[in-house]
Structure 1
Amino acid sequence: MIPKSLPLIALAGALALPGQAAAKSGDLQVKILATLVAPDGKLKDVKLDAIGLPAGAQTKADDNVIPTIAIEYFVADHISIETIAGVTQHDVVGRGALAGAGLVSDAKIVPATLTLKYHFGQEDGIQPYVGAGPSYFIFIDEKPGAGAVALGATRQKMNDALGFALQAGVDIPLNDKGLSVTLDAKRYFMRPTARWLAGTTEVLRTRHKLDPWVISAGVGFRF
């Protein structure tokens, strides 16, 4: 028979990791992460339609997993600023009346983000944190999908967009030398505009709810 207290004992043992001191002003932390980028991509508004979108047309962006790097500097005890580096690539496909139609192909995004973070937790223990800050999505080298080409579009462009990100996560120390495991979640709020052209003539302009979840896991080193 398994004692009822065993799960609590196991949990306590799992958390009894080799400690490291809480971050101090002037510390620098670098994180290597695997990151899931899961955007929405929902069509919010049609601003120009010269190609005749069918009634009930809707859109969805696909997910992607990418490597990212986070660099974090502690401006005060428990307070840091963090930026991330990475490039993610997505397609936008139709839903509803446009189900299965490819609208945007291979849109590459640089999610330039800067968050201000506050770190909780006790000395020598796990360190949860929350953060928030601005983000600027830079779109690179996107193309019209096969469905958009069939509707007459020959070029496609996503406008770069300014948005906002909320963040929460935890750093779990692995030793007293600055090595840790990190888990991180961000929710972005972003409303980019998409344009399709036939030659040099704009034939469709839409606004989208991008709003990706960005979920990361990896290792960090503080020094």
Structure 2
Amino acid sequence: MNKLMLTTAALGALAVSGALSGTAHAGDAEGRLQIKLLATGVLADGKVTAVKNDSAGLVAAGAVKDTKANDNVVPTVAIEYFFTPNVSLETICCVTAHHVTISSGSLAGKVAVDNVKIIPATLTAKYHLPLGAIKPYVGVGPALFIVLSDEPSALVRSVGVTRTHLSSELGVALQAGADVALGNGYSLSLDAKKYWVRTDATFYAGSATALKTRHKLDPWVVSGGIAYRF
């Protein structure tokens, strides 16, 4: 699935490039607006940081000690506005899907939460170094991880869990990358972001809380693709 999504994003970038080639004269390397079509790898780096409720005794019994989300590759659109040649504001749009696996304890290797879909809504202020055709940049800004959906796996359903909930929360992102000019407003874009975000994972048995844990969600998000500025 990851290879398919990566291929789709790459083909999409080529399609946009081809569609705009007929109006390439409209591109402007110093324009105010830049749009990027990227293939993005979401590299999960999380763990349990606290146990808030263990009514079911899953942690106390050693069944669950830590968890890990899988990596994913998704297509991403970024929109950037330049206030000056060196200062810009950028936002990204994508939906990333994961499952959460128990990484230690007697149930290690088993899936705990399925079909987790997250929008990592991010807004960064960026500073671009004026180095000619290659423009490196750094950025920082808030990130709101919006959890669209999640559901208990077959394993946790079998022990009485009827519903799961991952909280949507605000964090921060640091960013670095470079745009390499290709001409006519086009550039090759390479980007990396490091996020620091937390979430509460709650497992319900009916209306009662069976388990509630605090997690860090600190992924690396790396992207590459085509940018068009005008």
TM range, normalised to the smaller chain? 0.7 to 0.9
Alignment correspondent of 2:91? 83
54-63 vs 112-121, which moves further: 54-63
Aligned to 1:29: 34
RMSD between superposed Cα atoms in Å:
1.5
User: Could you tell me the percent identity over the aligned residues?
Assistant: 50
In the other structure, the counterpart of 1:109 is 118
The 5 A counterparts of 1:159-198 are: 159-175=167-183, 177-198=184-205
Residue 155 of structure 2 aligns to a residue whose secondary structure is helix
1:22·1:78 contact (CA, 8 Å) conserved in 2? no
Cα distance in 2 for partners of 1:146, 1:76 equals: 53
| 1:72 has 2:80 as partner | yes
Contact 2:97–2:115 (CA<8 Å) still a contact in 1?
A: yes
Q: TM-score, structure 1 length as denominator?
A: 0.86
Tell me what 2:129 maps to.
Answer: 120
Question: As a proportion of its length, which structure holds more helix?
Answer: 2
Letter in 1 for 2:124: T
Indicate the residue corresponding to 1:132 in structure 2: 140
C-alpha distance in structure 2 between counterparts of 1:23 and 1:47, whole Å: 51
In structure 2, the partner of 1:44 is 49
Letter in structure 2 aligned against 1:141: S
| Alignment TM-score, normalising by the size of structure 2 | 0.83
Structure 1 unaligned runs (5+)?
A: 1-19
C-alpha distance in 1 between matches for 2:89 and 2:199: 25
Letter paired with 1:38: L
Distance 2:36 2:222 in 1: 14
Deviation at 1:203, TM superposition (A): 1.0
Distance in 2 (alpha carbons) for counterparts of 1:202 and 1:74: 48
**Which 4+ stretches in 1 moved above 3 angstroms?**
20-24
CA distance in 2, matches of 1:57, 1:203: 15
Distance 1:49 1:127, change over 3 A: same
1:100 aligns with 2:105: no
Query: Residue 222 of structure 2: SS of its match in structure 1?
Result: strand
Distance 2:220 2:154 in 1: 27
The Cα of 1:77 is off from its aligned counterpart by: 2.2
Provide, for residues 16-49 of structure 1, a one-character-per-residue CA deviation record: whole Å limited to 9, x for no partner: xxxx98646xx10000000000112311111001
The separation in 2 between residues aligned to 1:96 and 1:84, in whole angstroms, is 34
Q: Deviations over 1:73-107 (max 9, x none)?
A: 01122100000001000100001113112111011
Structure 2: 5+ residue stretches without partners: 1-26
Query: How many pairs does the alignment contain?
Result: 200
Structure having the higher Rg: 1
Is the CA contact (8 Å cut-off) linking 1:139 and 1:158 kept in structure 2? yes
| 2:224 aligned counterpart, secondary structure | strand
Alignment-mate amino acid for residue 65 of structure 1:
V
2:44 corresponds to which letter in structure 1? P
